[in-house]
Amino acid sequence: MQKLGDFKLPHFFNYPPYFTLQPVRDIREKQIQLWKELILEYCRFQKIFVVGLEEDFPLFSNAVIERFLSHEAREAFLSAVVSEGRGEWLDKGHRKCLILWHRIQEWADIVLNFVKDNGLEDSVMTIEEIRSGIESRGTELHGIDRTILMRALKLLEQKGKLAIFKGSSADDEGVKFSL
């Protein structure tokens, strides 16, 4: 089985037809489903939050079989991720896609579990401490995309679980948990 770093690639990754959009609807739907799952699994494994359509994303080519995905195929597979609610286009031209390997509600739950697991129920933390602090090391929150984290925190704020406060700079933004 082929690997990309420590990530094990599925068998279809070495099958040349999967690098070409299939014309038969049933086969194409299966192809899109496989690619959608692969993109989400790989992004989660590598902690990748944004995939650029024109960028050199490792899954979009396979040197072993000398194949690469066309722009049309890349957009089709990422659009499928978006249509399932697991991604969002960051621009109108569909050039960059925010990958949500966890939906925002799931990220909010991860934040709550992090707070409870670390005894931070009535604590104050900066956004950067949540993303890259000592407490978050070894958790899914470590290195989280700021946009995703802020959306999860705003969801929790709407539910009365925390208050977000602004500082003089982005580094000073913080959260007061009240669980």
92 shares a domain with 109? no
114 shares a domain with 75? no
Q: What single string gives the DSSP state of each residue in 61-85? A: EETTTTEE--HHHHHHHHHHHHHTT
158 shares a domain with 139? yes
CATH number for 12: 1.10.10.570
How many independent structural domains does the chain possess? 2
What domain range includes position 126? 104-177
**pTM higher than the cut 0.85:** yes
The CB density around residue 164, as the number of other CB atoms within 10 Å, is 14
| CA gap 139, 82 in Å, rounded | 25
Write the pLDDT tens digit of every residue in 18-47.
999 999 999 999 999 999 999 999 999 999
Res. 170 pLDDT band, cuts 50 70 90: low
| CA gap 123, 178 in Å, rounded | 8
Write the pLDDT tens digit of every residue in 76-93.
999 999 999 999 999 999
The CB density around residue 179, as the number of other CB atoms within 10 Å, is 13
